[in-house]
Amino acid sequence: MEPVISNDVIMPGELLHAFQQRLENSGGVVSFTGQVRPVNSSGIPVKHLHLQAHPTLTRGGIVQAVTEANARWPLEAAAIHHRIGDIASGDTIVFVAAASAHRRAAFEAADYLMDYLKTRAVFWKKEVTECGAEWIEPRQTDHADFSRWTLEGPRHARH
């Protein structure tokens, strides 16, 4: 399935329903939904996030990550929806789903795709609070999470 990168509101329930409707032989479906937390890590209320994407690099990288996931795990389907623009506190930023005959493959593929999105996907993220706006970069733990996939598994991650 083609990744969706859009300013439109993401409705995870509807997306999960539509994703499962298309499946034919999957025993397990894992979804991840990422939402804007109302309070940032310093305890300051967040008004919104602003997400910027590149018109070609962002989609190209995500398509490659989905291809990589399909090479590593026997997936029936994988879906990625990523919102851009201004995203209010509580709204959904990202929805990822992975379906496979076996649940471990679905869990690991969704986990991998999220680690990719957090650390390698071509987005820039600005957090807007009452105190101003700040560009946010991946945390050390996000990079450590992604590195799990380069040290193990049937194939090495590119990048």
Partner 1 sequence: MTEITFWGKLADIVGTSKHTVTLPDSVQDTENLRAFLENELGLDGALRDPANRIAINDQIVVEPAALCASDRVAFLPPVGGG
Find out whether 94 and 18 touch, Cβ atoms under 8 Å: no
Q: How far apart are CA 83 and CA 90, in angstroms?
A: 13
Q: How far is the CB of 117 from partner 1 (least distance, A)?
A: 4
Q: Interface with its own copies includes 127 (CB under 8 A)? A: no
Binding site for partner 1 (CB under 8 A): 34, 51-54, 56-57, 60, 82, 93-94, 114, 117-126, 135-138, 142
Interaction between residue 65 and its own copies (CB under 8 A): no
Give the CB-side neighbour count of residue 80, counting CA atoms within 13 A: 27
Q: Which stretch in 10-18, 56-64, 78-86, 129-137 sits in contact with its own copies by CB under 8 A?
A: 10-18
CA distance linking residue 150 with residue 136, whole number of Å: 24
Tokens of residue 73, six digits = 């795990």
Indicate which single residue of 62, 106, 109, 113 sits in contact with its own copies (rule: CB under 8 A). Answer: 106
Closest CA to 154 of 97, 93, 28, 70: 70
Based on CB atoms, which residue is closest to its own copies, 59 or 118?
118
Q: Which does 122 bind (CB under 5 to 8 A by kind): partner 1, its own copies, none?
A: partner 1
Which region, judged by CB under 8 A, interacts with its own copies, from 67-75, 79-87, 105-113, 129-137? 105-113
Query: Which of 14, 16, 122 has the alpha carbon at shortest distance from 65?
Result: 122
Among 52, 59, 55, 10, smallest CA distance to 32 is for 10
- For its own copies, the binding residues in 73-92 under the rule CB under 8 A are 92
Least Å distance, CB 9 to partner 1, is 17
